[in-house]
Amino acid sequence: MLFPIVMITAIILAASFGLHIMPIEPIHNLTPDQAVNALYICPSTNTVFDTISIALRPFMRYINMMFFFALMLLFFSWGWGLYQNLLKDKFDASVFKNPWYFTKVLFWIAVVVILFIWTPNKYRTVTLSGAEAGWVLCEENTPGAVPVKATSVKR
Protein backbone atom coordinates (compact mmCIF):
# COMPACT_ATOMS: atom_id res chain seq x y z
CA MET A 1 0.00 0.00 0.00
CA LEU A 2 2.91 2.33 0.66
CA PHE A 3 4.36 2.01 -2.87
CA PRO A 4 1.19 3.24 -4.67
CA ILE A 5 0.92 6.16 -2.23
CA VAL A 6 4.54 7.16 -2.87
CA MET A 7 4.09 6.82 -6.65
CA ILE A 8 0.85 8.85 -6.71
CA THR A 9 2.54 11.52 -4.61
CA ALA A 10 5.54 11.61 -6.96
CA ILE A 11 3.31 11.83 -10.04
CA ILE A 12 1.25 14.67 -8.56
CA LEU A 13 4.39 16.58 -7.59
CA ALA A 14 5.98 16.04 -11.01
CA ALA A 15 2.82 17.19 -12.80
CA SER A 16 2.28 20.19 -10.53
CA PHE A 17 5.84 21.51 -10.75
CA GLY A 18 6.57 20.62 -14.37
CA LEU A 19 9.37 18.15 -13.61
CA HIS A 20 10.68 16.12 -16.54
CA ILE A 21 12.78 12.97 -16.75
CA MET A 22 14.39 13.85 -20.07
CA PRO A 23 15.74 17.33 -20.93
CA ILE A 24 13.45 19.48 -23.03
CA GLU A 25 14.80 20.52 -26.41
CA PRO A 26 13.30 23.67 -27.91
CA ILE A 27 11.58 23.55 -31.29
CA HIS A 28 11.97 27.22 -32.11
CA ASN A 29 15.33 28.89 -32.24
CA LEU A 30 14.83 32.45 -31.07
CA THR A 31 17.45 35.12 -31.27
CA PRO A 32 18.94 36.03 -27.88
CA ASP A 33 17.16 39.39 -27.79
CA GLN A 34 13.78 37.71 -28.52
CA ALA A 35 14.31 34.81 -26.12
CA VAL A 36 14.58 37.16 -23.15
CA ASN A 37 11.08 38.51 -23.72
CA ALA A 38 9.31 35.36 -24.96
CA LEU A 39 6.96 32.95 -23.23
CA TYR A 40 5.39 29.87 -24.77
CA ILE A 41 1.65 29.43 -24.47
CA CYS A 42 -0.75 26.73 -25.64
CA PRO A 43 -4.53 26.83 -26.04
CA SER A 44 -6.26 25.71 -22.87
CA THR A 45 -8.45 22.66 -23.07
CA ASN A 46 -11.00 23.08 -20.32
CA THR A 47 -11.44 19.59 -18.95
CA VAL A 48 -14.03 18.60 -16.40
CA PHE A 49 -11.45 19.04 -13.64
CA ASP A 50 -10.59 22.57 -14.76
CA THR A 51 -14.26 23.50 -14.77
CA ILE A 52 -14.74 22.06 -11.27
CA SER A 53 -11.62 23.87 -10.06
CA ILE A 54 -12.81 27.20 -11.43
CA ALA A 55 -16.26 26.66 -9.89
CA LEU A 56 -14.81 25.85 -6.44
CA ARG A 57 -12.35 28.77 -6.23
CA PRO A 58 -14.87 31.35 -4.89
CA PHE A 59 -15.71 28.96 -2.03
CA MET A 60 -12.12 28.30 -0.93
CA ARG A 61 -12.48 30.30 2.28
CA TYR A 62 -15.58 28.34 3.32
CA ILE A 63 -14.01 25.03 2.33
CA ASN A 64 -10.95 25.85 4.46
CA MET A 65 -13.15 26.87 7.40
CA MET A 66 -15.15 23.61 7.18
CA PHE A 67 -11.96 21.55 6.91
CA PHE A 68 -10.36 23.14 9.97
CA PHE A 69 -13.61 22.83 11.92
CA ALA A 70 -13.72 19.11 11.07
CA LEU A 71 -10.03 18.83 11.99
CA MET A 72 -10.71 20.37 15.41
CA LEU A 73 -13.59 17.93 15.93
CA LEU A 74 -11.22 15.12 14.99
CA PHE A 75 -8.67 16.25 17.58
CA PHE A 76 -11.38 16.46 20.23
CA SER A 77 -12.67 12.98 19.38
CA TRP A 78 -9.17 11.50 19.71
CA GLY A 79 -8.69 13.42 22.95
CA TRP A 80 -12.02 12.15 24.27
CA GLY A 81 -10.98 8.58 23.50
CA LEU A 82 -7.67 9.09 25.31
CA TYR A 83 -9.48 10.65 28.27
CA GLN A 84 -11.88 7.69 28.51
CA ASN A 85 -8.96 5.26 28.52
CA LEU A 86 -7.18 7.27 31.20
CA LEU A 87 -10.29 7.22 33.40
CA LYS A 88 -10.61 3.43 33.10
CA ASP A 89 -6.85 3.01 33.58
CA LYS A 90 -6.78 0.40 30.81
CA PHE A 91 -6.67 0.43 27.04
CA ASP A 92 -10.01 -0.07 25.30
CA ALA A 93 -9.64 -0.11 21.49
CA SER A 94 -13.39 0.21 20.87
CA VAL A 95 -13.25 3.83 22.09
CA PHE A 96 -11.09 4.70 19.07
CA LYS A 97 -13.34 3.10 16.46
CA ASN A 98 -15.25 6.30 15.60
CA PRO A 99 -12.24 8.66 15.71
CA TRP A 100 -10.29 6.34 13.40
CA TYR A 101 -13.20 6.13 10.94
CA PHE A 102 -13.58 9.93 11.06
CA THR A 103 -9.83 10.31 10.43
CA LYS A 104 -9.98 8.13 7.30
CA VAL A 105 -13.07 9.90 5.96
CA LEU A 106 -11.65 13.38 6.56
CA PHE A 107 -8.33 12.42 4.96
CA TRP A 108 -9.91 11.12 1.75
CA ILE A 109 -12.35 14.03 1.52
CA ALA A 110 -9.39 16.41 1.83
CA VAL A 111 -7.44 14.51 -0.85
CA VAL A 112 -10.35 14.57 -3.31
CA VAL A 113 -11.13 18.26 -2.73
CA ILE A 114 -7.47 19.22 -3.08
CA LEU A 115 -7.21 17.31 -6.35
CA PHE A 116 -10.33 19.03 -7.67
CA ILE A 117 -9.17 22.50 -6.65
CA TRP A 118 -5.45 22.30 -7.45
CA THR A 119 -5.43 20.94 -10.97
CA PRO A 120 -2.09 21.47 -12.75
CA ASN A 121 -3.71 24.00 -15.10
CA LYS A 122 -4.65 26.18 -12.11
CA TYR A 123 -1.00 27.19 -11.83
CA ARG A 124 -0.38 27.50 -15.58
CA THR A 125 -3.51 29.40 -16.71
CA VAL A 126 -2.79 32.85 -18.12
CA THR A 127 -4.61 35.49 -20.13
CA LEU A 128 -3.18 37.02 -23.26
CA SER A 129 -3.73 40.68 -24.08
CA GLY A 130 -6.05 40.98 -27.06
CA ALA A 131 -7.06 37.30 -27.08
CA GLU A 132 -10.27 35.88 -25.69
CA ALA A 133 -9.42 32.16 -25.57
CA GLY A 134 -7.95 30.53 -22.48
CA TRP A 135 -4.22 29.86 -22.50
CA VAL A 136 -1.77 27.91 -20.39
CA LEU A 137 1.98 28.26 -20.11
CA CYS A 138 3.76 25.36 -21.79
CA GLU A 139 7.18 24.21 -22.92
CA GLU A 140 8.83 25.09 -26.19
CA ASN A 141 8.46 21.60 -27.62
CA THR A 142 4.78 21.15 -26.76
CA PRO A 143 2.67 20.70 -29.91
CA GLY A 144 0.81 23.93 -30.64
CA ALA A 145 3.15 26.08 -28.52
CA VAL A 146 3.19 29.71 -29.60
CA PRO A 147 5.96 32.14 -28.57
CA VAL A 148 4.55 35.50 -27.43
CA LYS A 149 6.01 38.56 -25.78
CA ALA A 150 6.17 38.19 -22.02
CA THR A 151 4.64 41.62 -21.55
CA SER A 152 1.36 40.52 -23.19
CA VAL A 153 0.90 37.56 -20.81
CA LYS A 154 -0.90 38.20 -17.53
CA ARG A 155 -1.55 35.81 -14.66
66 and 112 part of one domain:
yes
54 and 112 part of one domain:
yes
pLDDT of residue 24 exceeding 70, the answer is: no
97 and 109 part of one domain:
yes
Contact, 103 vs 74, CB < 8 A? Answer: yes
Please provide the distance, in angstroms rounded to a whole number, between the alpha carbons at the two ends of the chain: 39
Contact, 44 vs 133, CB < 8 A? Answer: yes
Q: What is the pLDDT of residue 45?
A: 74
pLDDT of residue 28 exceeding 60, the answer is: no
1 and 59 part of one domain:
no
128 closest CA partner among 146, 142, 143 = 146
64 and 90 part of one domain:
yes
53 and 114 part of one domain:
yes
53 and 101 part of one domain:
yes
28 and 63 part of one domain:
no
125 closest CA partner among 28, 9, 44 = 44
What is this structure's pTM? 0.58
3 and 37 part of one domain:
yes
Cα gap 97→93, rounded to integer Å: 7
The mean pLDDT of 8-28, rounded to a whole number, is 70
Chain segment 38-68, per-residue pLDDT in tens: 888 888 777 788 788 878 888 989 999 999 9
Q: In sequence order, what are the beta bridge partners of 59? A: none
The mean pLDDT of 6-25, rounded to a whole number, is 74
Chain segment 97-128, per-residue pLDDT in tens: 999 999 999 999 999 999 888 877 777 778 77
20 and 54 part of one domain:
no
57 and 99 part of one domain:
yes
Domain count, the chain: 2
Cα gap 22→10, rounded to integer Å: 16
Cα gap 80→95, rounded to integer Å: 9
Domain coverage including residue 8: 1-47+121-155
Q: What is the pLDDT of residue 35?
A: 65
Q: Quick one: pLDDT band at residue 25, thresholds 50, 70, 90?
A: low
Q: In sequence order, what are the beta bridge partners of 40? A: 147
43 and 97 part of one domain:
no
